[in-house]
A = this chain, B = another copy of it.
């Protein structure tokens, strides 16, 4: 029979110019995905989010986290610094650490008890020099040239940023400040200015869609005022608001900034918007009892996408990091860590917790984001490798914008993606 083209592989070409039409195979092809892991999550100078410092306050405290598909241990060392090491024994590959959180003086792989320091160095292993018998002869042991230094846990380069912890397998990666870029840093520092954080909790959801769809979703100022009734109805996010779309120089990171208005009707942005509910009011206003915080300096919403692994959310009084953990081309885990500040009053904490009802897997304005991402992947899958999305709102180019009626941030991300993926 004549050759049958495999689903994945070389015959995939991105023929069009620019980045306003994304081919479906960019979301479904396993080989594309493996290259994404190599280049975005494990290499090419990219940093991944792994934790908040407050999750491991004391020496020896550790938590398991993820860099791409690789399990890593984030641990605070005796000197208070933070190490990130891969959770894979150097002897025979065992992912040995199984407790999601804990405190350790060292790491011991149970299989043969190879023992590692908190920085991943191999401290020792049983019978390295064999077992001495009565007659003095020695049985077994590791070869004479065995070098402990060559057999530690894979160690990642680590940087913290006012309470955030980032890591990378690429030890040639630039410093975080350079990685984030001058346009994004101020918005990051607006939230993370060195204040101590408090941990409110973690929520997790498994979303059966390609990981990039979540980045798109938070680089898409077009949808919130349309998909999310609460946003348009209560004026949390809608096209008649003063807003700005910021990008780093590569187009990979972005910030969506906006200032809430009073909501209600406004011909230009609610007319014909089926999700708008003219007469909707809350039975219990406490769900949206917004109180302005001084550090906001205006904006009520800032959504920061730090490519490829994390989204940082300020939605009025609700704060969280959202960690993207990809697993295959058509699924990722999305881990929400909600936090506040050490100087929050009890009321403010209760307020943040009440507003948390809007977010996460059950959130009034986030549950449906997970749903549409699932349905997008459904659509890509059913069509097969050809077919493409159309991201041409506000043109086909890439650049910052001072409004929401644009898909420029998405185009920015795929412009960068094409470059790095060499596609």
- Counting every copy of the chain, the complex holds 3
Nearest to A98 among chain B residues (CB) is B375
Chain B residues within 8 Å of A113, by CB: 226-227, 273-275
Q: Does A280 contact B (CB under 8 A)?
A: no
Give the distance to chain B from A419, nearest Cβ to Cβ, in Å. 12
Q: Report chain B residues within 8 Å CB of A30.
A: 7
A216 to B3, CA, bound (A): 26
A37, A384, A402 — most chain B CB neighbours (10 Å): A384
> Contact string, A355-386, partner B, CB cutoff 8 A, digits 1/0?
00000000000001000100110111111100
Q: Is A265 an interface residue (CB 8 A)?
A: no
Residue from the list B6, B8, B222, B387 in contact with A112, Cβ < 8 A: B222
Q: Is the interface of A mostly helix, strand, loop or mixed?
A: loop
- Complex CA gap A10/B140 in Å reads 36
Give A395 to B3 CA distance when docked, in angstroms.
31
Of B4, B35, B95, B112, the contact of A34 (CB 8 Å cutoff): B4
CB distance from A85 to the nearest CB of B (A): 13
A297 to B87, CA, bound (A): 44
Residues in B neighbouring A126, C-beta threshold 8 A: 222, 226, 272-273
| Given A8-B6, A131-B405: A389 and B93 interface contact (C-beta under 8 Å) | yes
A411 to B4, CA, bound (A): 23
The reply on A54 being an interface residue by CB < 8 A is: no
Known: A112-B227, A113-B275. A239 touches B131 (CB 8 A): yes
B375–A96 contact, CB under 8 A? Answer: yes
Among the listed stretches A45-53, A141-149, A330-338, which one makes contact with chain B, having 4 or more residues with CB under 8 Å of it? Answer: A141-149
Residues of B within 8 A of A132 (CB): 268
The residue on B at minimum CB distance from A144 is: B395
Could you say which residues of chain B place their CB within 8 Å of the CB of A6?
8-9, 31
User: Closest approach, in angstroms, between the C-beta of A267 and any C-beta of chain B?
Assistant: 10
* Pair A9/B14 contact, Cβ less than 8 Å: no
Is A40 engaged at the interface, CB distance under 8 Å to the other chain?
no
Which B residue's beta carbon lies closest to that of A13? B1
Determine whether A178 belongs to the interface, using a CB cutoff of 8 Å to chain B: no
Assembled-state Cα–Cα distance A93/B387 (Å): 9
- The answer to whether the Cβ of A24 comes within 8 Å of any Cβ in the partner chain is yes
Instruction: Kindly report which residue of chain B lies nearest to residue A403, judged by CB atoms.
Output: B139
Contacting pair B391 A92 (CB below 8 A): yes
Question: A71-B378, A92-B376, A111-B226 given as contacts; is B140 within 8 A of A404 (CB)?
Answer: yes
Closest to A154 in B: B383
Determine the residue in chain B with the shortest Cβ distance to A90. B390
Contacts of A86 in B (CB 8 A): 382-383
Contacts of A24 in B (CB 8 A): 93
Residue A423 at the chain B interface, CB threshold 8 Å: yes
Q: Are A111 and B227 in contact (CB under 8 A)?
A: yes
Choose among B29, B90, B382, B393 the residue that contacts A70 (Cβ–Cβ < 8 A): B382
Assuming A4-B32, A95-B378, A130-B405, is B88 touching A392 (CB within 8 A)? no
Whole-angstrom distance between the Cβ of A167 and the nearest chain B Cβ: 15
Tell me the bound Cα distance from A94 to B209 in angstroms: 11
C-beta contact mask, A58-79 vs B, less than 8 Å → 1, else 0? 0000000000011100000000
A380 partner residues in chain B, CB cutoff 8 A: 93
Write out the residue numbers on chain B whose beta carbons fall within 8 Å of the beta carbon of A1: 10, 12-14, 421-423
Could you say which residues of chain B place their CB within 8 Å of the CB of A9?
3-4, 6
10 A–B pairs (Cβ distance < 8 Å), ordered by A: A93-B387, A95-B375, A95-B376, A108-B274, A112-B222, A113-B274, A127-B393, A127-B405, A140-B401, A151-B390
Q: A1-B423, A3-B10, A93-B379 are in contact. List 14 more A-B contacts (CB 8 A).
A: A4-B31, A24-B93, A38-B384, A93-B389, A94-B378, A98-B375, A111-B226, A112-B222, A126-B272, A127-B239, A127-B405, A131-B240, A139-B402, A139-B403
